[in-house]
Amino acid sequence: MCKLCPLTNRLNTADYNADITSNTEGSFQIIVKDSEGVTELERTIDGGTEPDTIGGVTSSGSSGIWTVTIQVTNFNGDGSFSLSEGD
């Protein structure tokens, strides 16, 4: 499964948080690209392991329409993420 969401980002970084609850194997991956398609963040949380939460600030990129892609592989559980303008 893959979910692609746009974010209008007038700044050069984005704040992110992701949290999962899973007692089984699998993975939850978040990929954030800036307006030029450059990957500014790529992080994975593995199910059934700690830490099950990630957060912080992306690398600095070009302002404009950013995208976040969520990819889950063999994942069985709950998860959430947030992405907002940084700086």
Cβ atoms < 10 Å from Cβ of 22: 21
- Let me know if residue 87 belongs to a domain: no
> Structurally, how many domains does the chain consist of?
1
The CATH number assigned to the domain holding 20 equals 2.60.40
Statement: residue 42 has pLDDT above 70: yes
Band (1; pLDDT cuts 50, 70, 90): very low
User: Token digits for 74?
Assistant: 């063999």
- Let me know if residue 86 belongs to a domain: no
Q: pLDDT, tens digit, for every residue of 56-86?
A: 999 999 999 999 998 888 988 888 888 899 8
What percent of the chain is modeled with pLDDT above 70?
A: 94
Q: Which residues contact 38 (CB under 8 A, 6 or more apart)?
A: 61, 62
Note the pTM of the prediction, 2 decimals. 0.86
Cβ atoms < 10 Å from Cβ of 73: 13
> Are 11 and 61 spatial neighbours (Cβ–Cβ below 8 Å)?
no
Domain assignment of residue 19, given as a range: 2-81
pLDDT for the residue numbered 2:
47
